[in-house]
Amino acid sequence: MKRKQFVNFNTMSDASIQWNSINCAFTGTKNVKFRYALDKDTRYLDVYVNGEKVMSDAPFEATGSWGTWGETTVQLPFKSEVNTLKVVTTGTEGPNIDKITVSAQ
């Protein structure tokens, strides 16, 4: 049986996920793709890079069900070394987040 692993945001505000040790060879804007599921409505997350809020209320649109995965990509600033990325709920529960992918812009 395949085990399903994802983060379920079930707290209305200030719940967070943090990724540590995101290594970048060069300073600059990177594409960060989130794979997530969300049954209905749009939910919003604040986004922090290296402890600094870089995006307020990033929208995550509904994917139609908790079993339907979708993707959204945002552009975020990273430095040329180890970075942290954190997303925080902003008053509504967040989407279920499966993974992120960081790539050059």
The full set of domain ranges for the chain reads: 7-104
Rounded CA gap, 77 and 66, in Å?
Answer: 30
Q: Show Cβ contacts of residue 77 under 8 Å, excluding neighbours closer than 6 positions.
A: 28, 29, 30, 49, 54
Please report which helix (H) or strand (E) contains residue 26, including its range: none
Which pLDDT score is estimated for 11?
A: 72
* The pLDDT of residue 10: 78
Q: Which amino acid is at 23?
A: N
Phi-psi region of 63 (alpha: psi -120 to 50; beta: other; left: phi over 0): alpha
pLDDT in 10s for each residue of the chain, 105 residues:
555 788 888 777 789 999 999 999 999 999 999 999 999 999 999 999 999 999 999 999 999 999 999 999 999 999 999 999 999 999 888 999 999 999 987
Residue 9 pLDDT: 82
**In CATH, what class is 7-104?**
mainly beta
Counting every residue written for the chain, the total comes to: 105
Residue 105 CB neighbours (<10 A): 9
Cβ(77)–Cβ(54) below 8 Å: yes
